[in-house]
Chain A
């Protein structure tokens, strides 16, 4: 039996042992420690990605029911590992450029990935808390890793303090739930709840506390305040990591936590989710318009995207979850391409920060400009690109669940949001600018951009594979 348990825990085990190994070796290496830890991490990620597919697909609970296992969890794990791999593939040069080539960075990333894997597979309030903390602590350090920059330090500090606040809220929520049900395990909580005709006020309070804390992690309005500052202050690859990977796992956890123990009380929690969703969509659309810093803009854009995904969660139905899964896939690819391109363009030897400095890019680099345009159109949700379908399936689920007003607000806010996405296209193609651009694309970056572009631009040709998969996955969590 222990043997089988370990097999089920294989990706995490590989990741833990591998990370510790890299850490140990790196301390002894002098000059090449960063290079070593970086490339070893890539190898390690590929291994764990491979081992996820190894997993035996059962729902036996392991390690005293601390963890769970299933197709949906595996899928989120794959997305996490894949997103991290993307991060490793496009970021190396950046750290060299900023003299940030410390071997701690890959280690910290790996630890936070480990935290995320625990987060998504947790089956217990305690393991959930531990996963979240392991993930967040690494991220606090990563946000402030650029010690020379005031903004980076500020971002790290803000993130840390607000994160601590949200952890407190989470723990308080957990204790309320434990107090009222006497159980920590998700299944046990569900069992206890199943006999209740309706939720006690104390349980509702506990639920609200936990949702608020998770909403902080996905940066849904009004718990989003840290996002723009942290996105702006952190080094851009770290921002990309925040935008791509942490969002995915937080959304995954939110889905699991709400659907699993509290599944029968959809009507209770969906009120919060609807509010979070509406406010995120509107604020994401409005606040981004006046932003000139590309990172802040992407921060608000990600807030908006979270708003759309929460529509799917608010339905509490299979179609909604299917929509979220499709959305997550497409979101991953879009952001991967955007951040890769962002890290590849330099003006006068500096990385791009202000969106106005894109002006005139199209004359010198037509292909890159064209790809940016595709990504922007896709983010705005314009067919035939993939971004259209991600929103489409979300709205479909809202309509099927009779949440018409959510769909209407979603469509309206995506119209507003289209403005700032397409403004970037306009700046690239129609504004006059300097032509001292320099686009550095090595093979790894080209690979990411190529794959993402193919995926986004040609999604329409064969969407059924992903949609069918999402359908299957969404069935497994109910």
Chain B
């Protein structure tokens, strides 16, 4: 059954891509969704079994590489961490598959789309169930590939192609460091298997190595490298630029990338390697810093964006920042908890946004929406639930997870922890602001879209609404239900040795601090209400008055601009120089072009040997024989 969870999506992909084109679209829609639902169902069973037995399983499928000391298997590892990820990935992906049936119903290449979605899911499942770093890397790269295919799914759009390439290349930068990290781990520990690595961590706690005269702690160095890899996948500041552009793909893809797969891979990896990271203080501090920076910075950008999907995209960035903060202060269980709840409400937000876009005939600009609450009430209420969950409204799922992160940052009692704590509180205010801005711009106020589009706006079909409703249940209840298991009293028992769980602090946060957090959220909501509900002219005035600030935000802190100037254009020029002068003139001239001419001539001569005359053939044979004999006579 465990095999089925992982391989059913792959089967779905094979079916829909090999025979999907020949049969009608329904076939690939049903087969991929059906397989995914089965896979999700099985993951529930496994989860249930795990709750009862609490045993970790390492299923070795096939020995993959066996070369000297280097041993790697294809394996499925079932422990608390991977089973949580299995649950999240397969369930959310199944819902997104179902949603796609409705959303993509008019697309000409449905089998391809459904196939890619399944492939994406398969790679992610292979990633989370790995028991060694190499298989994890296989899934890691596979996810990158599938995201490339999906972001560029509408390949006739140039922006989509560019976005796909951008996602691939930016991820590559992170992957590069990740690979060095993996190789480094093999070099130090002599194995890539998680258990064997973790068993040896204590031996290397104090180990250092010398690099150009500076003593560097081995573990910190390795962990930093791994984390840079995670930064690429999880879109942390600096390597985040691909994420907003990835919105060029169809909306279900955005939901899949942002909610359950791909971006969570980085957080998952850090949690998986938690025995390593817990002993690497400097690396952990870097993680906190980057996480906190990303959280606030992405939230700031989200304040001014007008594309409905981009707002949500930056909010993902920001939430991932939270998760890394949690991982940095050592609360890996809180990070995974937030990952889980986030998966639900982010999928809900994205799919609701998709439903809005669907209703308005592919309009994504929020300035051209408004007043839609009456037209599409279910979608609007779904969006409300999602937004309430993301800001951490009491007793919704976001509340528990976010609160636990902020708490653990507070109790970390380090300077970095305190920084993260205050950044976290401010960011939650910003989150509230942009979420409410999105709701007001989209669903309330006057209609700013074209009138006939507005009149035609309609609620999405049931096949799209149904996943939304399920997700909304998830967004509301996952927090309450899983609280005890993930971070509550049962947590140490539940996680076992899959991740490091720090003993829970006994006292609560001071009341004033609790109030402070709530206060910021309330201010965010109130401000958004004032700006976008009562005084619609205020945003415009403010943006003209604080022109420079607004420009920085709307231009996303000029990240793309700077990258373009420094890296893209200069490397383009360098490439051109090398191509024209170096390659074509020097290397080609003397190398391949010249050589190929020589080889051409040689091959003509070789061909001419073959005269077709029997006596020539016999002669060559005898010459060969005599040649050998002569050789032995004189040697």
Give the interface segment out of A21-29, A223-231, A320-328.
Answer: A223-231
Check if B625 sits within 8 Å of A162, measured CB to CB: no
Check if A291 sits within 8 Å of B607, measured CB to CB: yes
- CB neighbours (8 Å) of B562 from chain A are none
Known: A166-B621, A225-B617. A464 touches B632 (CB 8 A): no
- CB neighbours (8 Å) of A216 from chain B are 621
The CA of A166 and the CA of B66, in the complex, are separated in Å by: 43
- CB neighbours (8 Å) of A289 from chain B are 599-600, 603
Tell me whether B602 is interfacial, beta carbon within 8 Å. yes
Nearest CB of B to A173, in Å:
10
- For B603, B614, B618, B620, which residue has the most chain A Cβ atoms within 10 angstroms? B603
- CB neighbours (8 Å) of B599 from chain A are 286, 289, 416
Q: Mark B64-86, 1 if CB is under 8 A from A, else 0.
A: 11100000001000000000000
Which of A162, A271, A463 makes the CB contact (< 8 A) with B618?
A: A162
- CB neighbours (8 Å) of B74 from chain A are 461-462
Check if A162 sits within 8 Å of B621, measured CB to CB: yes
Tell me whether A448 is interfacial, beta carbon within 8 Å. no
The CA of A158 and the CA of B612, in the complex, are separated in Å by: 9
Q: Mark A250-285, 1 if CB is under 8 A from B, else 0.
A: 000000000000000000000110010000000100
Tell me whether B415 is interfacial, beta carbon within 8 Å. no
Check if B632 sits within 8 Å of A286, measured CB to CB: no
- CB neighbours (8 Å) of A58 from chain B are none
- CB neighbours (8 Å) of A208 from chain B are 625, 628-629, 632
Check if B66 sits within 8 Å of A225, measured CB to CB: no
Check if B62 sits within 8 Å of A287, measured CB to CB: no
Check if A226 sits within 8 Å of B617, measured CB to CB: yes
- CB neighbours (8 Å) of B600 from chain A are 289-290
The CA of A29 and the CA of B137, in the complex, are separated in Å by: 63
Known: A208-B625, A464-B63. A229 touches B612 (CB 8 A): yes
Question: Chain A's interface: helix, strand, loop or mixed, by majority?
Answer: helix
The CA of A205 and the CA of B633, in the complex, are separated in Å by: 9
Tell me whether B575 is interfacial, beta carbon within 8 Å. no
Tell me whether B616 is interfacial, beta carbon within 8 Å. yes
Check if B624 sits within 8 Å of A223, measured CB to CB: yes
- CB neighbours (8 Å) of B633 from chain A are 201
- CB neighbours (8 Å) of B455 from chain A are none
- For A212, A222, A416, which residue has the most chain B Cβ atoms within 10 angstroms? A222
* Chain B contact residue count (CB 8 A cutoff): 31
- CB neighbours (8 Å) of A286 from chain B are 599, 602-603, 606
Check if A287 sits within 8 Å of B606, measured CB to CB: yes
Which of B604, B606, B632 makes the CB contact (< 8 A) with A283?
A: B606
Closest chain A residue to B72, Cβ basis: A464
Nearest CB of A to B560, in Å:
35
Check if B625 sits within 8 Å of A212, measured CB to CB: yes
Closest chain A residue to B18, Cβ basis: A367
Nearest CB of A to B67, in Å:
9
Check if B617 sits within 8 Å of A162, measured CB to CB: yes
Nearest CB of B to A168, in Å:
11
Tell me whether B507 is interfacial, beta carbon within 8 Å. no
Closest chain B residue to A288, Cβ basis: B603
Known: A289-B599, A461-B74, A464-B64. A161 touches B607 (CB 8 A): no
Known: A272-B628, A290-B607, A461-B74. A158 touches B614 (CB 8 A): yes
- Which residues, 410 to 464 on A, are CB-close (under 8 Å) to B? 416, 461-464
- CB neighbours (8 Å) of A226 from chain B are 617
Check if B606 sits within 8 Å of A461, measured CB to CB: no
Q: Mark B609-627, 1 if CB is under 8 A from A, else 0.
A: 1101010111011011100
Check if A225 sits within 8 Å of B621, measured CB to CB: yes
The CA of A36 and the CA of B27, in the complex, are separated in Å by: 42
- CB neighbours (8 Å) of A288 from chain B are 603
Subset of 16 A-B contacts with CB under 8 Å:
A158-B614, A162-B614, A201-B632, A209-B625, A216-B621, A286-B602, A286-B606, A287-B610, A289-B600, A290-B600, A290-B603, A462-B63, A463-B65, A464-B62, A464-B63, A468-B66
Known contacts A204-B632, A229-B610, A286-B603; can you find 20 more A-B pairs with CB under 8 A? A157-B614, A162-B617, A162-B618, A165-B621, A201-B632, A208-B632, A211-B628, A212-B628, A223-B620, A223-B621, A229-B612, A286-B599, A286-B606, A287-B609, A289-B600, A416-B599, A461-B74, A464-B63, A464-B64, A464-B65
